[in-house]
Structure 1
Amino acid sequence: MLDFPITSFFIAVTVIISYMAFSNETLSNKLIMNPYRVAKRKEYYRFISSGFIHNGYVHLIFNMITFFFFARWIESYFAYKHGLLVGGIYMVALYLAGIVVSDIPTYFQYKNLPHYNSLGASGGVAAVLFATILYEPLNPIYIYGVIKIPGFIIGAVYVIYSYFYSKGSEDNINHSAHLYGALFGFFFAVAVEPVALVDFFEKIAAWKFTF
């Protein structure tokens, strides 16, 4: 993991802060996304800090495993295409801005509700996932180690699942952030490399299902 310093750094910091917040309600309340407090007390830092705490070990592990597998690729891609410095800036901006942007719709929707909270790195993870999918939509993911599914299909299922799950969920996990983070990551990647959008559709058009 040390070959991917930015990916490793974000995973380490997220795991440490999340673990600390699991047993420290005061810390969790200080970091969690509460749109009302952001609006009334100008606690804008919550747009970022809420991405470093999670609703239990399952939530944390799921996000960090997903992030690990896709962030390594996109970090290497940015470094190869744009150099270590610029590539590193793109990587940090993609992840952190994904967390922030994915919380903006939530902020406007719930800023007058004092008791609404949300947390998790889902927006940043989704941004990384969909930036990777834009550049390499056919990169396979193996279901049960046998069924090979291209990334663009997994990404579509990921967003659809998150959208419908967000409708009835009351677990403080900002499931709608998956959708907004995904959209941000996709268009961020397009802005960095516009020609990749053409390649994206050409690769999908040429795709054929194989085991």
Structure 2
Amino acid sequence: MNLLTENPGATLLLAVMVLASGVGLYASPAMIERNLFRPHWLLPRRQYLTLITSGFLHADLAHLLFNAFTFWAFSFALERTIGTPAFLALYTFGLLASDAGTWFKHREDPTYQCLGASGAILAVLFASMLYFPKASIYILPIPVPIPTPLFALGYLAYTYWASRQPRGRINHDAHLVGALAGIAFVALTDGATLANAVRSAIG
């Protein structure tokens, strides 16, 4: 399989995510500082570019590896199904929707700052769940496949727990909004798939 031919969108996004995060973590920490999303300062300082750039950076290697794995596991099949333009639109919609939710919650806090691709990746994950409701994922060392809906709900449960821990830079608040954005995107662009997923869930 030629990834650049069959999955140009997912391949490019994953490459930029890994490269930018690697440079920020190991070569230029100042790059991460410049591109953190700071909701309170978004409008006063016109830091509009951080809405995008913060979504390609990660707090540490574990954060990057988990997001990269989740993206890899679900994005390539989804892009081949819905097409590259729709896939890139979904990713962008998830990223900006999660940023909007973060801005609304933290816009009055001048000290809050965050980063991470999780909002956009949750949009991809939940959209994939609707297109492939019976799919499963293998995660070593767990010896049995994990159904995608169970993985998605487990991801959100972890997010809820993590968001209540002492503050770090990871934008856990973006996860739920990203998940809802993925569902909303499918509802707006392919209502039949959403209806089929609902019938599969209740049938």
What is the letter of the counterpart of residue 108 of structure 1?
F
Among 192, 196, 201, the residue aligned to 2:198 = 201
Does residue 17 of structure 1 match 2:14?
no
Question: Residue type of the partner of 1:127?
Answer: A
Equivalenced residues, count: 198
Check if 1:36 corresponds to 2:40. yes
What's the TM-score, normalizing by structure 1? 0.88
Query: Quick check: 1:119 aligned with 2:115?
Result: yes
Equivalent position of 2:133 in the other structure:
137
Taking the aligned partners of 2:184 and 2:97, their CA distance within structure 1 comes to 12
* Alpha-carbon offset, residue 67 of structure 1: 0.2
Query: What corresponds to 2:52 in structure 1?
Result: 48
Cα RMSD between the aligned structures?
1.5
8 Å CA contact 1:34–1:114 kept in 2: the answer is: yes
Runs of 4+ aligned structure 1 residues displaced above 6 Å come to: none
Which residue of structure 1 aligns with residue 145 of structure 2? 148
Point out the more displaced range, 138-147 or 27-36.
138-147
Q: Distance in 1 between matches of 2:86 and 2:166?
A: 32
- CA contact 2:7–2:84 (8 Å) conserved in 1: no
Q: Classify the secondary structure of the residue corresponding to 1:159.
A: helix
SS of the residue corresponding to residue 147 of structure 1 reads coil
Deviation, 1:173, is 0.2
The answer (yes or no) to whether the contact 2:40–2:106 under 8 Å persists in 1 is yes
Identify which range, 195-204 or 131-140, moves more after superposition: 195-204
Partner letter of residue 37 of structure 1?
Answer: W
Residue type matched to 1:107 in 2?
Answer: W
In 1, the alpha carbon distance for the partners of 2:143 and 2:93 equals 35
Q: How far, CA to CA, are the matches of 1:88 and 1:95 in structure 2?
A: 10
After superposition, what is the alpha-carbon deviation per residue over 1:8-42, rounded to whole angstroms, capped at 9, x for unaligned?
10111111111121142321121111112203112
Post-superposition offset of 1:205? 2.5
Report if aligned partners of 1:138, 1:204 keep a CA contact under 8 Å in 2: no
- Decide which of 79, 83, 90 is 1:94's aligned counterpart: 90
CA distance in 2, matches of 1:205, 1:119: 36
Quick check: 1:54–1:119 contact (8 Å CA) kept in 2?
Answer: yes
1:97-124 Cα offsets, whole Å, 9 max, x none, are: 2111112121122223222111000011
Shift of 1:145: 5.2
State the secondary structure of the residue aligned to 2:116: coil
- For residue 174 of structure 1, report the CA deviation from its aligned partner: 0.6
Question: Over residues 67-97 of structure 1, what are the superposed CA-to-partner deviations in whole Å (9 max), with x where a residue is unaligned?
Answer: 011000110101xxxxxxxx22111111122
Gaps of 5+ in 2: none
Return the letter of the residue paired with 1:113.
Answer: D
> What one-letter code is carried by the residue in structure 2 that aligns with 1:19?
G
